[in-house]
Amino acid sequence: MAETTSVRCYIDAYKGEGGRQGLRLREKGTGRKVSFGEVEPAQAEAFIQSLIMGASSAEAMPDLMRENGEDDAVRVSGNVDFDSHEELRFQYDADLQYLCV
């Protein structure tokens, strides 16, 4: 049975393959990766676009990009299917929500 939880995250910008810019979510305070389970490509694209929009709002909401910033965050809520010290993985289902707060 899935566990429902909510975490505050920051957007982590990193260098991916070939030097390309990547964005991912990490939990504020712990730095562990926050991910989603199986996601259809169209749904993944919508999530990636929300990360890009959040990162482009860093001037107005600078703590979106800071691990320990307290003012701004991406709040992710939903059903958890994997929880470890390195990663918190949510199910990509109707209960999943992510919102800049």
Buried b (16+ CB within 10 A) or exposed e, 25-64: bbbbeeebbbbbeeeeeeeeeebeebbeebbeeeeebebb
Calculate the average pLDDT of the chain: 89
Per cent of the chain over pLDDT 90 is 49
Q: Structural domain boundaries of the chain?
A: 3-100
Quote the pLDDT of residue 11. Answer: 92
**Geometric angle at alpha carbon 98, from 31 and 2, rounded to 5°:** 80
Tokens of 84: 């470890």
The answer to whether residues 85 and 36 touch, using CB atoms and an 8 Å cutoff, is: no
pLDDT digits (tens, 9 = 90+) for 34-75: 999 888 888 888 888 888 888 888 788 899 999 999 999 999
Count of beta carbons in the 10 Å neighbourhood of residue 4: 11
Reported confidence tier of residue 4, pLDDT bands at 50, 70, 90 = confident
